[in-house]
């Protein structure tokens, strides 16, 4: 056999071997692929398999921040009232006006009545009522209230009295300091022993009461 024949026979044999070998020819070879471990760690696939992972959840939209509830009952009228209170100036003491009163009637040792039924109570003193009684040093009762009324009546003797009363508004009953020819009636009544200082006691009235007590005049007899 020539060299060419032997070479041809060898090639034919190699072709048959290649054709009949399991990985050659038209025979399909199936390769086994191990499933991915739990949790998909170290996954070999570049794209997820169908139903491999649930679709990612979209983040919930942020809730709108609501403004705190307002008091619907407070309307424009309440706002106007608040503004009015803020603008309203603080009321100070009432303005007094020296007023002259004529034909004064003495009702008791601390009360005057003028025309127009205006009643004036002398300020700063505790006066005795016209029918009030007192006891002297020996315990005997006497009409101190009537005596105080008479003493004030004799001082005034129908003359005009000047009292510091509120400048605004209609007068009907008022407590005021009154003078007669420059003499303060409240101080005079205490100094004569016909009235006592009211609390809180003014220093001038307290001094006048101490002097009357030492002299044992008026109700201090």
Q: Calculate ∠ Cα 55-60-62, nearest 5°.
A: 160
Which CATH number fits the domain that encloses residue 132?
2.40.50.90
Residue 164 φ then ψ, to 5° = -90, 105
pLDDT of the residue at 82? 46
Q: For residue 201, with 0-12 CB atoms within 10 Å meaning exposed, 13-18 middle and 19 or more buried, which class applies? A: middle
Please report whether residue 54 resides in a domain: no
Percent of the chain at pLDDT > 90 equals 50
Highest-confidence segment of 3-12, 64-73, 84-93, 147-156: 147-156
C-beta of residue 22 within 8 angstroms of C-beta of residue 29: yes
Q: Tens of pLDDT along 86-145?
A: 444 455 567 899 999 999 999 999 999 998 889 999 999 999 999 999 998 889 999 999
Please report whether residue 14 resides in a domain: no
pLDDT over 60 (residue 34): no
Please report whether residue 79 resides in a domain: no
pTM of the model: 0.58
pLDDT of the residue at 57? 56
- Number of independent structural domains in the chain: 1
Q: Tens of pLDDT along 76-88?
A: 455 554 444 444 4
**CB crowding 101-133: b at 16 or more within 10 Å, else e:** beebebbbbbbbebeeebebbbbbbebbbbebe
* Domain, as residue range, for 102: 96-220
Please report whether residue 155 resides in a domain: yes
């Amino acid at each position: 056999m020539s060299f060419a024949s032997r070479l041809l026979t060898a090639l034919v044999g190699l072709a048959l071997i290649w054709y009949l070998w399991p990985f050659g020819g038209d025979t399909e070879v199936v390769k086994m692929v191990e499933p991915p471990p739990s949790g998909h760690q170290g996954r070999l696939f570049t794209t997820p398999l169908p139903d491999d992972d649930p679709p990612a959840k979209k983040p919930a939209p942020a809730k709108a921040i609501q403004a705190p509830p307002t008091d619907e009952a407070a309307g424009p009228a309440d706002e106007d009232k608040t503004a009015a209170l803020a603008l309203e100036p603080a009321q100070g003491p009432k303005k007094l006006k020296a007023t002259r009163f004529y034909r004064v009637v003495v009702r008791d040792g601390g009360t005057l009545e003028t025309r127009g039924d205006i009643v004036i109570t002398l300020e700063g003193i505790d006066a005795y009522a016209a029918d009030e009684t007192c006891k002297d040093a020996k315990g005997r009762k006497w009409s101190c209230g009537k005596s105080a009324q008479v003493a004030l009546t004799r001082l005034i003797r129908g003359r005009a009295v000047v009292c510091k009363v509120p400048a605004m508004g209609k007068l009907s009953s008022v407590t005021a300091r009154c003078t007669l020819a420059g003499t303060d009636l409240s101080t005079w009544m205490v100094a004569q022993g016909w009235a006592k200082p009211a609390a809180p006691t003014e220093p001038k009235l307290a001094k006048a009461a101490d002097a009357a007590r030492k002299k044992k005049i008026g109700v201090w007899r």
